[in-house]
Amino acid sequence: MKRFELERDKAGFLFIDIQDKLLAAIFNKDDVLKNNIILAKASEIMGMKNVITLQYPKGLGPMNAEIRKPLGDSIELEKSYFSCMKDENFKAEFEKQGIKQVIITGIETHICVFQTARDMIEAGYEVFIVSDAVGSRAKLNYKNALKNLRELGCVITTTETVLFDLLKKAGSDEFKKVQNLIK
């Protein structure tokens, strides 16, 4: 596997805790919402594997509906640990998906995203953090987390970089549909 290159047959999205009650407090919430909607719709177009997590949904509610809708019958897992990888049910379900390259989006960058990515790197996954689709309440926490994630070995990327790396070439109907999402 080439580092920094996404391969569709090995890649999948992990949408972490994008719940409206959490999203409301995020400093870059508009970008996080916009880019996660784009990624969810593009994932549907490309037939990607997706896993969704929800942090304590009884109190924090469901995933944002605009992001959730295009994800259809994707696996949705409740959690209480900050790191998804500390949850045995998550680990078992995620492993069944056969995802080796994990494209992580969600909130908060310095808590659940950071701890999950750290533990996934430790477990041997190749981790891509979509920097314009993750967020924190405070900008300092967000920036520090991205710096630490890079040092851990995560690929720090953006929505458009992920999409075009997964597409590989122009000209297909799939390309046109995805391109229309970002125009």
Say what the pLDDT of residue 20 is: 97
Say what the pLDDT of residue 4 is: 87
Say what the pLDDT of residue 1 is: 52
Question: Nearest to residue 27, comparing CAs of 145, 182, 141?
Answer: 141
Instruction: Evaluate whether 113 touches 107 at the Cβ level (below 8 Å).
Output: yes
Instruction: Tell me the fold of 11-182.
Output: Rossmann fold (3.40.50)
Residues 6+ apart with CB under 8 A from 65: none
Q: Give the integer Cα–Cα distance in Å for 103 and 113.
A: 11
Crossing angle for the helix pair 173-182 and 29-46, nearest 10 degrees? 170
The residue count of the chain comes to: 183
Say what the pLDDT of residue 61 is: 95
Say what the pLDDT of residue 183 is: 86
Residues (pLDDT < 50) of the chain are none
Predicted TM-score (pTM) of this structure: 0.96
Q: Please state the φ and ψ torsions of residue 114, each to the nearest 5 degrees.
A: -60, -55
Say what the pLDDT of residue 169 is: 96
Residue with tokens 């994707």: 74
